[in-house]
Structure 1
Amino acid sequence: MKIAVFYHLRFGGAKRVVQEHVKGLRALGHTIDLYSTEKEDDMFDPGLFAHHEYIYPFSLSQGTIPFFGRMQKDFDVFYRLPLLHKKISQDIDTRRYDVVLVHTDSFTQAPFLLRYLKTNNVYFCLEPLRIVYEYSLRPPANLGIINRLYEYVTRFIRKRIDRENARSAKHTFAISLFGREYMIHSFDLYPKISYLGVDEKVFTPMNVKKKRQVLFVAEKEYIYGYDLIQKAMARIPKHKRPRLVFVFGTKNDRRITEKELVKTYNESVVVVSLSRYDTFGLVPLEAMACAVPVIALNVAGYRETMLSGRTGFLVDFDPQEIADRIMYLLDNPKIAHQMGQNGRTWVEKIWTWKKQIKHLEKLLLETV
């Protein structure tokens, strides 16, 4: 197939997904052209694996007055960005692709591109625009009345944009059963499922000494369970309490490298994932690939990738239960080791990118 791939994403797991899609589909013999509105210099560069890369520069206005600066940026997203996406769609349509694989646009979530494409296309939806659906992401209570009103108006507009763009796609893929349910609820769409994966050759067990540490790979925010891990650690007596290590993107004001991340996984006794609404969750897969047991909330996408009692534990929103599971693994290193080995076997059996890209290829061929 001749495939166009579109994305606009900042550094993070979602950009890794784009890179793995481009790399994996090209390895299967397909011609891949990449389209984006920005090229950021970081360890994920999907363009390295594409046959051609087309960049359409787009940046938001930089206002000097806070409120009016925000208005300028929203104007750029609501009015300038659709014009650029219309131009991109016209260029894609003239190059006669079999299918366009459309990933997320960090400005809008579902890209405007979907409204204008005439070419057969698929929206690969990681998740709907969470800030307009989730109560925990509501506007802060301390906003002034004008800012609060403006926030509600712009969120209403963004919700309509995300929904209309997503519903304009000819085909849609979700990344999990939970993700599909989220899309049914948000868009009244019924997507097929294309799971994510992990590179088991990168995320692999290492011969390093274990440290008495618990790893938390996420931002220090409520939606990622920062409050839960803090409360759980506080319930462990000080003389037994392990070190808690936080990792998210940067280390000493620089981006953490992939090698550093893999080493940190391997040095940890257990990885804790407590995101309240993660549609999939790459962190548990990366940890299991490194043969490290995982403690995760019994919600959302974690339920599909974890084998509770075998590769770690699924837990409730209970800091004491989380603390007890952490101490159980610390006090029983042989069991922790066996759970880690089970996780590695589980990843190799089901969750490698090679297997998931092959399934993605099958789904794409069905749309052609």
Structure 2
Amino acid sequence: MKIAIFHELPFGGARDVVYYFGEGFTQNKIIVDLYYVSSKKDEREASFFRKIYFFKFVPQKWSGNNWKTRLYKDSIELYNLKNLHKKIAKKINANNYDFVLVNGSQYVEAPFILKHLSTFKIFYCHDPNYRIIYEKVLQLENINLNSIKKTYEKINRNFRKFLDKTNFKRADLIIANSFFAKKIIKKTYAKDSTVLYPGVDINFFSPKNVNKDIDIFYIGSHQRIDDFELLKRTLSTLPKNIVTKKIMYEDGWIADKKVILDYYRRSKLVVCLAFNEPFGLVAIEAMACGVPVIAVNEGGYKETVINDKTGYLVNRNPKELAHKINELLNDFNKLNKLSRNARKHTVKNWNWSLKSRLLSEFLKKIKK
């Protein structure tokens, strides 16, 4: 079997999953080529794919106030991206693949390429929908804008919703990364999907006997969707001597997984606070390293974290979160027990070699 993988994902968990796909397919004797759109090459992919096709696309940066740049991004830039996808699809169509595994776009979620591929196309949804236009917490009534900006934003979001749904419906088959995502896909697009979980490399993400000098480890961003404010409110109620390590997307993503691994191993616990996170790779990476996870009781976290066994699931409440953090940091035996459970649970249920085999078998079954 020969397949192509397409993505234009930002650095982060979803992009890492794509590389796990490549490695897993190769191990299961599937020929796999990568086509990806990015502002710069990612040198990590070389060992995962037979052939790699890189297409450079550099979006203009916009951080507010410059209306000309914003208008360009919402019109000409999207048009240029659509034409680039048409070009990529033509190349893929000419290479006679059995399938194309299409991943989400950081620019439009369901990418334009879905409209132009004649090869059987499977859309793997890392996010179940275009969250900035569908997620309740990001709706316009929750954002402080003047009437002109709010009107523009409303028109733009409706246009992007149209693009997203138009592209999405062109997928021949849809894979969700969790049952939570499956539910959202059905609600948003009225489409059925098959759940195939991603996993984690349990040989790389593993415990090590090192000094645990970080009490709380957090990976996220300042964006509303990651709810960093919840962590800030929680920390304000905790003892000042608690050591917290934060990796924020705005400070530059750390592509070197060895650096992230070192932080996991040095941490006593990891907190995961994003609103309706569809899966949450950070949680299973942490648990694979034997680090208990305290996550909000919603989204995909409910499918990965076992309450009071591998960590805690809490309400979105700073007092409750602080209570659980204090409880673990002050009970070495409990922390140790959850740590051992987290590792065992991940090895048994979230081993990437198992997940990639299931996905490979699924594709082979479709081909028949």
Same fold per TM (> 0.5)? Answer: yes
Mark the runs of 5 or more structure 1 residues left unpaired by the alignment: none
Question: Which has the higher mean CA deviation after the structures are superposed, 242-251 or 144-153?
Answer: 242-251
Cα pair 1:93 1:118 within 8 Å, conserved: yes
Partner of 1:129: 130
Partner of 2:254: 255
How far apart, CA to CA, are the structure 2 residues paired with 1:319 and 1:119?
49
Partner of 1:157: 159
How far apart, CA to CA, are the structure 2 residues paired with 1:254 and 1:120?
33
Identity of aligned residues (%): 32
How far apart, CA to CA, are the structure 1 residues paired with 2:277 and 2:50?
33
Partner of 2:326: 327
Deviation at 1:249, TM superposition (A): 5.0
Partner of 1:194: 196
> When the two structures are superposed, what TM-score results if normalisation uses the length of structure 1?
0.93
Partner of 1:297: 296
Mark the runs of 5 or more structure 2 residues left unpaired by the alignment: none
Evaluate the alpha carbon distance shift between residue 215 and residue 59 of structure 1 in structure 2; reply closer, same or farther with a 3 A threshold.
Answer: closer
Partner of 2:217: 215
Cα pair 1:249 1:256 within 8 Å, conserved: no
Please tell me whether residue 183 in structure 1 is matched to residue 185 in structure 2: yes
3-state SS, counterpart of residue 163 of structure 2: helix
Alignment of 1:27-176 (within 5 A): 27-38=27-38, 40-42=40-42, 45-60=44-59, 66-127=66-127, 128-139=129-140, 141-176=143-178
Residue by residue over 1:261-294, the C-alpha shift from the partner in whole angstroms, topping out at 9 and shown as x without a partner, is 1121121111111112100011110111110111
How far apart, CA to CA, are the structure 2 residues paired with 1:333 and 1:263?
21
3-state SS, counterpart of residue 103 of structure 1: strand
Residue by residue over 1:86-120, the C-alpha shift from the partner in whole angstroms, topping out at 9 and shown as x without a partner, is 22222211211110000112111111111111111
3-state SS, counterpart of residue 204 of structure 1: coil
Tell me the amino acid that sits aligned with residue 298 of structure 2. Answer: V
Evaluate the alpha carbon distance shift between residue 58 and residue 224 of structure 1 in structure 2; reply closer, same or farther with a 3 A threshold.
Answer: closer
Cα pair 2:231 2:318 within 8 Å, conserved: yes
How far apart, CA to CA, are the structure 2 residues paired with 1:179 and 1:254?
25
Evaluate the alpha carbon distance shift between residue 76 and residue 364 of structure 1 in structure 2; reply closer, same or farther with a 3 A threshold.
Answer: farther
Partner of 1:242: 242
Cα pair 1:60 1:76 within 8 Å, conserved: no
Deviation at 1:229, TM superposition (A): 1.7
Tell me the amino acid that sits aligned with residue 367 of structure 1. Answer: I
Partner of 2:342: 343
> When the two structures are superposed, what TM-score results if normalisation uses the length of structure 2?
0.93
3-state SS, counterpart of residue 45 of structure 1: helix
Cα pair 1:100 1:122 within 8 Å, conserved: yes
Residue by residue over 1:212-235, the C-alpha shift from the partner in whole angstroms, topping out at 9 and shown as x without a partner, is 511111113432232222222222
3-state SS, counterpart of residue 217 of structure 1: strand
- Number of equivalent positions: 364
Deviation at 1:366, TM superposition (A): 2.9
Partner of 1:269: 268
Evaluate the alpha carbon distance shift between residue 305 and residue 208 of structure 1 in structure 2; reply closer, same or farther with a 3 A threshold.
Answer: same
3-state SS, counterpart of residue 255 of structure 1: coil
Residue by residue over 1:141-186, the C-alpha shift from the partner in whole angstroms, topping out at 9 and shown as x without a partner, is 4433332222111111111111111111000000000000010011
Evaluate the alpha carbon distance shift between residue 202 and residue 76 of structure 1 in structure 2; reply closer, same or farther with a 3 A threshold.
Answer: farther
Cα pair 1:250 1:256 within 8 Å, conserved: no
Tell me the amino acid that sits aligned with residue 257 of structure 2. Answer: E
How far apart, CA to CA, are the structure 1 residues paired with 2:254 and 2:219?
14
Cα pair 1:178 1:300 within 8 Å, conserved: yes
Tell me the amino acid that sits aligned with residue 231 of structure 1. Answer: R
Evaluate the alpha carbon distance shift between residue 157 and residue 306 of structure 1 in structure 2; reply closer, same or farther with a 3 A threshold.
Answer: same
Deviation at 1:39, TM superposition (A): 5.8
Question: RMSD of the TM alignment (CA)?
Answer: 2.2
How far apart, CA to CA, are the structure 2 residues paired with 1:155 and 1:48?
39
